[in-house]
Amino acid sequence: MVVSVRMLRRHIADIAARAAAGETVIILRHGHPWAMLRPALPDERCRTQSITSLRDDLRRGLLRARRRPLRLTWRDEVLDVVVCAVPRDLILAEDTE
C-alpha cells in the first residue's frame, strides 16, 4: 500500500492496523518514498512513540523514524507496527516508467 503524508495523518489508526496485520505501507512525501510502516519483527527493539503524538507532529516523527525505527503504541499498549526508513533500493511501479 502506498499513501501520502496527508492520507497518513487523516487515517493513521486504520493504516497502522493494516501494517499490524502484515501489510507494508510506503509513505510518500512530495511524491517520493519517505518512510514506511511495517509489521514489527520478532524481538525487534525500538524506541516507542504513541500514534497520537506521531500524528500531531508527523514531520518530526517521520524524520526520527528515518534515523532509527519507532515502534508505535496506542493507549500505552505496544503495537506490532514499526515506522522506519524506506530501503534505498526500493522502486515503486510508478517510478519505473
List pLDDT tens digits, range 41-88: 988 889 999 999 999 999 899 989 989 999 999 998 989 999 999 887
pTM: 0.83
Q: Tell me the three cell numbers of residue 19.
A: 501494517
Average pLDDT over residues 10-35: 93
d(CA 81, CA 79): 5
